[in-house]
Every structure is written in C-alpha cells, then in structure tokens.
C-alpha cells in the first residue's frame, strides 16, 4: 500500500467571514470525512491547516513574503492517506469538504526514499 498527500486549496480572498455556526458545521463535515477514511484504516496523518502567512524561497537564496492574497487558490492544509493506487486515493478524496466551498484537492503519491 502506498501513501498519498492530499493538498487542500481554496480561494482565501473571501470578504464574507463564516459565522460561528458555519465554522462548527464545517468542522463536523471535516471530522466525518476524515473519520470515514480512518474507519477504513487508511488515514496516516490527519494533517493540519496552514497559516496564510509565509515566506517563499527563490533561486539564488532570495526570500520574499508570500503567499499573496491575490493568488486565487492558496494552499490551506494537508492530510496523508494510504491507498493501493492513485485512483483509489482520488476516490478517498471525494467528499472532502473543501470542494463544497469551491476549493479542490490535489492528490500526490509520496515516493519513499531509496534505502
């Protein structure tokens, strides 16, 4: 079985802050979705949300502030799962709550190091 990284992206340029009730409902959806993956013994690491502030390292060791709010889709978090194939991992990604708010999930296999 292989491990896959699920990267969550969405448009963070929203002017409408969610209500406390919306946040609570969203958290419940995330818990249910991750719980379904865990129930199949395919959750490796539930991951975390990522802060919106950061730094970007460029060629020549130049560091800039970023990512920027004007970027349409920003990386918001990650989860690591296990699956037999990329197709199975993509199926497990279905139902991710980020898609309900216009976001997307990138699914990438984690390549183990050569030992």
114 is a domain residue = no
Please report which confidence band the pLDDT of residue 103 belongs to, taking 50, 70 and 90 as the band edges.
confident
Establish if 49 belongs to a structural domain.
Answer: yes
In a domain, 54, yes or no: yes
Residue whose token pair is 């950061």: 54
Which residue is it, tokens 């929203």? 14
Residue 15 has pLDDT above 60, yes or no: no
Distance CA 101, CA 89 (A): 21
Question: Considering the domain boundaries, does residue 52 fall inside one?
Answer: yes
Domain encompassing residue 87: 2-109
Residue with tokens 């009730």: 21
Mean pLDDT (whole number) for 63-87 = 83
Q: Which helix (H) or strand (E) holds 66?
A: strand 62-66
Render 93-105 in DSSP notation, one character per residue: HTT-GGGGGT-EE
Average pLDDT score over residue span 82-104: 93
In a domain, 11, yes or no: yes
Asked, for residue 69, whether it belongs to a domain, the answer is yes
Q: What pLDDT, on a 0 to 100 scale, did the predictor assign at position 5?
A: 97
Number of C-alpha atoms within 13 angstroms, CB side, residue 22?
A: 6
Mean of per-residue pLDDT scores for the chain: 87
* pTM of structure: 0.84
Question: Tens digits of per-residue pLDDT, 17-69?
Answer: 677 888 889 899 999 999 999 999 999 999 998 887 888 888 999 998 876 65
Q: For the chain, what percentages of helix, strand and coil (3-state, to nearest 5) are there?
A: 30, 35, 35
**Tokens standing for residue 109:** 């296999």
Domains in the chain, number:
1
* CATH number of the domain enclosing 91: 3.30.70.1060
């Amino acid at each position: 079985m292989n491990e896959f990284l699920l990267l969550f992206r969405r448009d963070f340029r929203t002017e409408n802050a969610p209500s406390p009730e919306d946040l609570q409902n969203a958290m419940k959806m995330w818990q249910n979705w991750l719980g379904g993956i865990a129930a199949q013994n395919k959750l490796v690491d539930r991951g975390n949300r990522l802060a919106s502030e950061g730094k970007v390292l460029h060629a020549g060791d130049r560091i800039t502030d970023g990512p920027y709010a004007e970027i349409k889709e920003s990386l918001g978090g990650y989860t690591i799962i296990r699956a037999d194939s990329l197709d199975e991992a993509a199926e497990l990604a279905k139902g991710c709550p980020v898609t309900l708010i216009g976001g997307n999930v990138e699914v990438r296999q984690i390549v183990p190091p050569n030992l």
